Amino acid sequence: MSIPFLFCLALAGEKPGLEQDEVKLQIASKQIVQTAILRAVQQVSQESQQKEKRTNTSTSLQLERGKLTKKHEKK
């Protein structure tokens, strides 16, 4: 993940050591939060896809069972 341009400017500025450390901490904190949000969104997306696959599989199985039942009834 790249550091946003404005943060690079803030780091490049002539700030006393404590302020530079604070900026670095803010950048690190924002990156941690962004990463956590991205992972959470990916997890929700994966869970939704898995749920959809299970639903589709279940529906397919129900349809197949229905077809088999109808074939047996016709005989």
Whether pLDDT at 7 is above 70: no
1 contacts 31 by C-beta, under 8 angstroms:
yes
Query: Of 40, 26, 22, 28, whose CA–CA distance to 1 is shortest?
Result: 28
Whether pLDDT at 42 is above 90: yes
| Residues 13-41: tens digit of each pLDDT | 555 677 889 999 999 999 999 999 999 99
One-letter identity of residue 30: K
Q: Does 35 or 2 have the greater pLDDT score?
A: 35
Whether pLDDT at 56 is above 90: no
Query: Of 40, 25, 34, whose CA–CA distance to 2 is shortest?
Result: 34
Q: Give me the sign of the Cα torsion angle 42, 48, 52, 58.
A: positive
Whether pLDDT at 1 is above 70: no
